[in-house]
């Protein structure tokens, strides 16, 4: 299945392929404040439809995750990082997907605050 998503104003738009089986609700400082519900997919399954130059990037702590956001509306639809094996991943905020109802998804808590 292909999902379409982006930021609030539309300057960041993307498609992401895959079936959403569960989402992660992380309690780290940034995920909590943003209200993110994260779906992790291999990086190659996320396809930007807008120029990469429209992305702003924020990093913190160990600076391993590239949190991308729109400088115009402030929305943060996804981040890039890698898993423990080094495989490149995209962490998609399902709240930024156009046709996904977050209330219908299985939410798994993750204690990112303790990392």
**Residues 2, 19: Cα–Cα separation, whole Å:** 8
Q: Please state which CATH class domain 2-110 belongs to.
A: mainly beta
- Rounded to a whole number of angstroms, the CA Rg of the chain reads 13
Supply the pLDDT for residue 59. Answer: 84
Q: Encoding tokens for residue 21? A: 């089986």
* Half-sphere exposure (Cβ direction) of 21: Cα atoms closer than 13 Å: 3
Supply the pLDDT for residue 47. Answer: 98
Supply the pLDDT for residue 63. Answer: 77
Supply the pLDDT for residue 74. Answer: 94
Instruction: Order the strands of the 13-17 sheet from edge to edge.
Output: 2-6, 13-17, 46-48
Supply the pLDDT for residue 112. Answer: 87
Supply the pLDDT for residue 76. Answer: 96
Q: Over the chain (115 residues), what is each successive 10-residue block's mean pLDDT?
A: 96 97 93 94 97 90 86 95 94 96 94 87
**Residues 50, 6: Cα–Cα separation, whole Å:** 10
């Amino acid at each position: 299945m292909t999902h379409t998503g982006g930021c609030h104003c539309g300057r960041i738009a993307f498609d992401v392929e895959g079936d959403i089986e569960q989402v992660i609700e992380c309690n780290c400082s940034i995920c909590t404040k943003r209200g993110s519900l994260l779906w992790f997919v291999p990086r190659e399954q996320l396809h930007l439809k807008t120029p990469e130059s429209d992305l702003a990037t924020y990093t913190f702590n160990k600076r391993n995750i590239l949190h991308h956001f729109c400088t115009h509306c402030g929305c943060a639809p996804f981040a890039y990082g890698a898993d423990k094996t080094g495989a490149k991943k995209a962490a998609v905020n399902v709240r930024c997907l156009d046709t996904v109802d977050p209330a219908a998804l299985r939410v798994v808590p993750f204690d990112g605050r303790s990392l």
